[in-house]
Amino acid sequence: MNNTEPLNLSSLKMVQDELVSTIEQSAIRLEQFSTDRNNGELLQECIEGIRQIRGTISLIQLKGLDLFTEELLAHITDITLGEDEKTNKKLEILTASFFILPRYLEYCTQTSRSMAVLLVPHINELRLARKAVPIPESYFYSLDVIKPHRKSIPIPSSIQEDMGTLVRRLRHMFQTGLINVIKDHQVKGSLGMMSRALERLETVCAGTVLGNFWWLCHATLNVMREKNMSVSKTRKLLFGNIEREIKRLQFEGKSVLTRDPDAVLQKELLYLLALSHSTDEKTIAVMMAYAIKSPSYTEAELAREMEFIRGPSANTISSMVSVLTDELHSTKNILERAAQGGAELLSKSPELLETLKKIAEILSVVGLSAPSSSLKQEIEKIANWQRHKSPVTAEELSQVADTLLYVESSIAGLERTNLSDEKLAQINALSRDTVMANNQIAEAEKIVLEEAEAGLVLIKRALTSFAESNYDKGHVRNITGSLDAVRGGMFLLGLPRAAKVIAGCIRFVEEDLLQQELHPAIQHMLETFADAIISLEYYLDSVKLDKNADTSVLQVAEESLQALGFEV
């Protein structure tokens, strides 16, 4: 089973800026309409913006987001002009959707993957607002429900009780637990009662199609109880659907034993079972019988990813990082002056403590507890120096400077990750030396990439001059040196495919461009070679955003070199 959908990252990055701009413009029109409810022109402009967004999403085939934009369009076209209490709620949902749209696009580019399941709650919010049936959690879960292949089926012992009476009693047991679950009262115990009712029904109907269904229901509810899986509104509705199947058995009797239960209901149960990642013997037996595998993510991981989408955007994080970095630079300047001109300068800089306190507080709020605690310790030291005007040694100032460097490195790390609990925990768990080393490595990689890009720009200029000068070799004599430097950079960054492409470029320059006699089709060859260089340039631009960027774009360069007679 494929747990994440195919994502054409290059296509997404090409249209992302325009998409986000259209989303922002539509959101502005919606905000203006909310204060001027009779302005149909503003509403229509917002609708046209959503249509444009939907068209672009369809073009790049971003699974899940296409359905989300369809629901968005259906929702907004249902809004009427004039003051209406119902319109207020509709506008609130639209505003929230305009926040989710760019955040999900950002999620896809940051993680290089698409996970349509993350959009299910937001799609359902739009559907419920227009009284449409919500889509199940398993909507984007790729699975064909099959007839289970059970190794052995327990044969029920003789039942003294009339089947109708027994099923009615078991249904009541299930209902009692369900009512408590709906009220969020004694959920774990109530799930146990519901699970027990299903286990008994499984025994009563053993050897039948319906018996297999109760087997699946029992396993799913049992694992939800054991794993403390959340009981959302959608899952409560699912339990209600199970209760209706019990009702059918109660009133229709044995005629339903061989009837196939609803496939959507079975798929939803199988999805929850797979999501549990349970190692329970019965769970594994059910999953094997239905030939399903657990997704690569757990329910807890899915919840964290959803929280990330609801969290601050990359622009917000970047702005925060920029402000904090500026504040840190000003404090480091004060410490440098104190180191050179005497520690008494610290008492003449009352703003130092206030700035550091503000930074420590922000770090604590965003979850960087370890850097925040370290900084607070240094704040206490500085406050003590200022209060008692005690002498400060160069070594003590150096320790404060080291802490500021550690804090600065931690802050820099925020731009290379998201603010999920997991990522923040990783930053907090790292030692000072590791955090600073990681930051220095990231800065070094950034410099290498910039130098490589600059090298490719020089090469393109040289090729242009070479063509315009009627192929004066003086313009391309140093190209191999520039290419070799870029190739070295690719090795340093751990990008072997790009390095091999550049090696092919070097061979072309040496064996064709710098030869005494140029090929008659030199102009066409230069155009083909330029394609390879541009492909490399585009790839490096992707690597700046994500070191693990898709290398398929390099296929263009490889094919160009192959056309020139140089196999990579």
Distance CA 357, CA 353 (A): 6
Reported confidence tier of residue 350, pLDDT bands at 50, 70, 90? low
Closest CA to 273 of 176, 141, 180, 398: 141
Q: Express each pLDDT in 328-339 by its tens digit.
A: 777 777 777 766
- The yes-or-no verdict on residue 291 having pLDDT over 80 is yes
- The yes-or-no verdict on residue 157 having pLDDT over 90 is no
Percent over 70 (pLDDT), the chain: 85
Sort residue 184 into left (φ over 0), alpha (ψ -120 to 50) or beta: left
Residue that has been written with the tokens 């990359």 in this structure: 314
In a 3-state reduction of DSSP, which class is residue 205? Answer: coil
In this structure, of 85-89, 148-152, 229-233, 275-279, the range with the lowest mean pLDDT score is 148-152
The H or E element containing residue 522 is helix 522-545
The H or E element containing residue 51 is helix 40-60
Predicted pLDDT of residue 1: 36
Which residue segments constitute the domains of the chain, with CATH numbers given? Answer: 9-136 (1.20.120.160), 163-294 (1.20.120), 312-430 (1.20.120), 443-563 (1.20.120)
Reported confidence tier of residue 2, pLDDT bands at 50, 70, 90? very low
DSSP-derived secondary structure letter, 262: P
Scored b (16 or more CB within 10 A) or e, 485-519 reads ebbebbeebebeebbbbbbbbbbbbeebbeeeeee
Predicted pLDDT of residue 340: 66
In a 3-state reduction of DSSP, which class is residue 114? Answer: strand
98-109 average pLDDT score: 86
Q: Is 400 exposed, middle or buried (CB count within 10 Å of its CB: 0-12, 13-18, 19+)?
A: buried
Largest CA distance in the chain: 102
In a 3-state reduction of DSSP, which class is residue 5? Answer: strand
Token couple for 450: 């910039």
Distance CA 195, CA 208 (A): 19
Whole-number CA gyration radius for the chain: 32
Closest CA to 117 of 14, 24, 12, 2: 2
Distance CA 346, CA 389 (A): 9
Question: What are the C-alpha distances in Å from 84 to residues 38, 70, 89?
Answer: 11, 24, 10
In a 3-state reduction of DSSP, which class is residue 9? Answer: helix
Backbone angles phi, psi at 238, to 5 degrees: -60, -45
Closest CA to 404 of 374, 381, 426: 374
Distance CA 257, CA 325 (A): 68
- The yes-or-no verdict on residue 315 having pLDDT over 70 is no
In a 3-state reduction of DSSP, which class is residue 505? Answer: helix
> How many Cα atoms within 13 Å fall on the side-chain side of residue 357?
9
Distance CA 433, CA 484 (A): 33
Q: Express each pLDDT in 230-255 by its tens digit.
A: 998 889 999 999 999 999 999 998 88
Predicted pLDDT of residue 367: 63
Token couple for 279: 């190692």
**Under 8 Å between Cβ of 418 and 110:** yes
Distance CA 311, CA 367 (A): 13
- The yes-or-no verdict on residue 318 having pLDDT over 70 is no
Q: What is the mean pLDDT of the chain?
A: 81
> What is the CB neighbour count within 10 angstroms for residue 450?
13
The CB-based long-range contact list for 263-268 (8 Å cut-off, 24+ gap) reads: 263/145, 264/136, 265/238, 265/241, 266/145, 266/213, 266/216, 267/136, 267/138, 267/141, 267/143, 267/145, 268/136, 268/137, 268/138, 268/238
Please provide the size of the chain in residues.
Answer: 568
**Under 8 Å between Cβ of 29 and 49:** yes
126-148 average pLDDT score: 87
DSSP lists the bridge partners of residue 114 as 5
**Mean pLDDT highest for which of 138-142, 333-337, 387-391, 397-401?**
138-142
Reported confidence tier of residue 473, pLDDT bands at 50, 70, 90? confident
Between 152 and 506, residue with greater pLDDT: 506
**Under 8 Å between Cβ of 463 and 497:** no
186-214 average pLDDT score: 89
Residue partners of 291: CB distance under 8 A and separation at least 6: 146, 149
pTM: 0.60
- The yes-or-no verdict on residue 10 having pLDDT over 70 is yes
**Under 8 Å between Cβ of 177 and 191:** yes
DSSP lists the bridge partners of residue 5 as 114
411-418 average pLDDT score: 61
**Under 8 Å between Cβ of 543 and 495:** yes
Closest CA to 311 of 417, 412, 430, 442: 417
Closest CA to 305 of 119, 516, 549, 51: 119
